[in-house]
Amino acid sequence: MHKRTEYLYVSQRKNYSPKPNSVSIKRKNELKESIISCIINDSRPFNDLRKPGMRAFLEVALPGYVPPHRTTVRASLAKRYAEHRRSLVTIFANVSAIALTCDIWKNSRGTHFICITAHFHDKDYQLISLTIGFRQLIGCHIAKRLREYILYEIKSLKIQDKICSITTDNATNIVSATTNVHYFGMRISCLAHVLNLIIQDALDLLDKR
């Protein structure tokens, strides 16, 4: 299994014929990194490239190449995530003021997600927006849980003393979670969300006429 022929019996070595492998180690690493990027960008399952159809295609396209196992993909993603978080800490170390936006929504399957984005200006006064937190919400969306998650993200990035404001919609729990000047500075209601509610209410009134 591990191609260590020195541990085989003499009788086993006679019957052992390793499969030819035309893919170099360097090329394998390049392919693995490309596959990890593909899984991230296209939101593919970790084991997608090891399914029978894909394995058959790869055997034709790249004879001898075996795509990474899902455990390898998971480990690579964890490593990339840790590297990305470290890069964010480095970026924010030179930023003096950060405004946050926070949104909660659900997909077509009814699964809820929360996303936190940090907005700031660089030395040339160019606006930069970076996602600092994205997570599936499981259980009740009570204000305490939401506040603890947001605080966890900003503290892990060492920016808790740089937050000047946070913008959210007007849902009761998120308003309660973020209305704290000590933690998040000024809380601002999302103008786009407010306008959307106004237009919806106006259209409802027209339908009732």
Per-residue confidence band for 18, with pLDDT thresholds at 50, 70 and 90 = low
User: What domains lie within the chain, and their CATH numbers?
Assistant: 5-79 (no CATH), 95-208 (3.30.420)
pTM of the predicted model as reported, rounded to 2 decimal places: 0.75
Mean per-residue pLDDT over the chain, rounded: 88
CB within 8 Å of 151: residues ≥ 6 apart: 160, 183
Nearest to 58 by CA among 45, 43, 46, 48: 48
List pLDDT tens digits, range 76-87. 999 999 999 999
Q: What is the residue-wise DSSP string for 29-54?
A: HHHHHHHHHHHHHHT--TTGGGSHHH
pLDDT at 16 over 70: no
